[in-house]
A = this chain, B = another copy of it.
Amino acid sequence: MAEADRGLPEQLSKRIVQLILDEKLEQGDRLPNEAELVRCLGAGRSSVREAMKLLASRNIVQIKQGSGTYVSSNPGVVDDPLGFTFIEDKKRLVHDLLEVRFMIEPHIARMAAEHATDKQIDEIMYWCDECERLILAGEDYAAADAKMHTAIAKSSDNLVVPRLLPILNESVPLFITATKKILVEETLRTHRNVANAIAEHDPVAAGDAMYLHLVYNRSVIR
């Protein structure tokens, strides 16, 4: 938390967050317009506008010019929330991110194998196929790879995991750069094994396959 007093717009932004919670506004819902907020918060128009800019900068609301202000998808989850931009030593960052992925991703694969719905399995399979297609075509598969890991996290039936994993997936493009070409065959195989084990609701096989996937990554990165 910044220690400085951030003033009136900061206080107003907190009251607007409370209003979103009280009114049970969901992602995509429109907030009251500026005139209504000025009235109900008892604050000046320019302070309300400043407060909205603060909330937009934190991805809590999205301001659409000429249309209104809406609750963001994944409100409050900002880009780079752990400040990795400010870690100078990227090589060490990759190593340390991988260490954390080892702690959680085999667990997540197990949870997904227990809880994934048919629709979630379809999504995991889709991204597994898409990764495979891109890899075999020699194209950039970083985004598809991250989407597959995210689809698995979303199937964990845990509220925290899907918010945590994108941060760790920060590392996926770095890993691919580090392991390019060398791990093509292993990536294809372990991805497929993870996806199949989840589809078969086999937690042990899913956890083992994910562990192996990370082991291959670590063996090249070290």
Q: State the majority secondary structure of interface residues on A.
A: mixed
Copies per complex of this chain: 2
Q: How far is the CA of A75 from the CA of B88 in the complex (A)?
A: 12
**Distance between A142 CB and nearest chain B CB, rounded to angstroms:** 16
Interface residues on A, range: 35 or more
Task: Known A54-B53, A74-B83; judge A59-B104 contact (CB<8 A).
Answer: no
B54 and A87 contact, CB distance less than 8 A: no
Q: Are B100 and A158 in contact (CB under 8 A)?
A: yes
A58/B78 in contact, CB under 8 A:
yes
Q: Are A160 and B93 touching (Cβ within 8 A)?
A: yes
Q: Are A158 and B96 touching (Cβ within 8 A)?
A: yes
> Looking across the interface, which residue of chain B has its beta carbon closest to that of A65?
B4
Known: A4-B56, A60-B86, A92-B159. 12 other contacts (CB 8 A): A1-B79, A6-B56, A17-B85, A57-B58, A76-B80, A82-B160, A93-B160, A96-B159, A96-B161, A99-B158, A103-B103, A103-B107
